[in-house]
Amino acid sequence: MTNPPPPGWQHPHTGPQNPFGEEQPQYGFPQTPPPAGWGPPQTRRKNKAPKFLLIGAAILSVIAVSVGATLLLTGNSDDIPKRVPNGSVSDIASAEDTGPVTVITEDPTCAPWRPIASTIAKQQKQGWADRDPAIPATSWTPEQQKMYQEAAAAMLTAADQAVPLAKMTPHRVMRELYEQSIAYWRAYANSIKSYEPSDNYLAQVSVNTASAIVSICGTIENQAAQARGPLVTEQPAPLPAELNDPADPATFLNAPEPSVCSSWTQISNRFDIDTKAWREGDLTQEVSEWSPERRSVMNEAASTISEYANSIELLGRQSANAVFADFATLAAQYWRAYVVAFPSYTSKDGYLAEVASYANFIIFNACASVSSS
């Protein structure tokens, strides 16, 4: 198994150059250079999976969540968000966003996010992207120590710059993506003095969240979100969540959730196997270019992806973790938008799948982080 991300998810660039930016933040483990335009992650080297990946628990009992149980886990769109401890919600634009997670068709933070993401991506290419994350701090050379310290400083700077964007976005799930970028950047930077290989998962989550924002903004700029988002059915309202201070967010997963995390991995593994033909095809081909064989593959993939979207959303709600549930639903909704696009598919629609993939990686690596600590 490759880790990260789940095996096989290193699919090729899914569309034309992302109009949102020129650099892609580096993934947690070293990788081949990304294509121009912040495409999806490239092939990762093999690494031993954390303990939770080895659990062989059956997934069917998890997926068979009753409709009644699902409704019990959902919140109400009329829920009033709790106030930020020692502060006010007045400067948080998404404070009143308590509704379902949907495909985002506009966001004022995309433009100011571009230079922040591009700057940290370029800094990470100054040695950090080529590091061996298996080497602990006790074995670093002076040069390696300097490289890690510079990478950590860049992450802390990016985290501080992301705080006003977390407050500015009108979308709750975008605020959560910013907040978790901030939280995991800081957690990783704080781990540097006594770095152990398991701390690398913190970096992976931060890259996943940052890349999800990049891809969301890409779908807005290339208008795939506007074209497909309105066609995706809204899901039940989310779990009620406390509104936290974006300037001081906590990592969203701080203790193992063995059942949910192991099930998430098993579903991802099954999805990987079942969509092999789809992933290995040319995902930049538009529908008018599909051969009969490719059309058959895409039709089969549509069914598999739709089932997968339903499964991960139910798992997210079962976790009873509001941010976990929002990220799971974010992945599910963008997968659904991707499938809706198939009858008139264009290469731009591939960015919808990128958002879904990165949202999956967030949970995958957050689970790995708490399971390996």
Domain-embedded: residue 44: no
User: What 8-state DSSP symbol labels residue 199?
Assistant: G
CB 349 within 8 A of CB 218: no
Return the percent helix, strand and coil in the chain, to nearest 5: 60, 0, 40
Domain-embedded: residue 136: yes
Say how far apart CA 368 and CA 116 lie, in whole Å: 27
Domain-embedded: residue 169: yes
Domain-embedded: residue 1: no
Question: Rounded to whole angstroms, what are the CA distances from 237 to 176, 195, 241?
Answer: 16, 40, 11
Please provide residue 31's backbone torsions phi and psi, each rounded to the nearest 5 degrees.
-150, 170
pLDDT at 373: 66
Count how many domains the chain has: 1
Say how far apart CA 200 and CA 202 lie, in whole Å: 5
Q: 76 lies in which domain range?
A: 51-354+356-372
CB 308 within 8 A of CB 271: yes
Domain-embedded: residue 192: yes
Give, for all 373 residues of the chain, the pLDDT tens digit: 233 443 334 433 444 444 444 333 332 222 222 322 333 333 333 333 333 222 222 222 322 332 233 333 333 333 334 444 444 567 999 999 999 999 999 999 999 999 999 999 999 999 999 999 999 999 999 999 999 999 999 999 999 999 999 999 999 999 999 999 999 999 999 999 999 999 999 999 999 999 999 999 999 999 999 999 999 999 988 877 789 899 999 999 998 777 899 899 889 889 989 999 998 999 889 999 999 999 999 999 999 999 999 999 999 999 889 999 999 999 999 999 999 999 999 999 999 999 999 999 999 999 999 988 6
pLDDT at 49: 32
| 3-state secondary structure at position 20 | coil
pTM of the model: 0.80
Domain-embedded: residue 43: no
Per DSSP, what are the bridge partners of residue 2? 46
Domain-embedded: residue 120: yes
pLDDT at 256: 77
| 3-state secondary structure at position 243 | coil
Domain-embedded: residue 74: yes
Q: Which string of b and e fits 316-327 if b means at least 16 CB within 10 Å?
A: bbbbebbbbbbb
CB 34 within 8 A of CB 42: yes
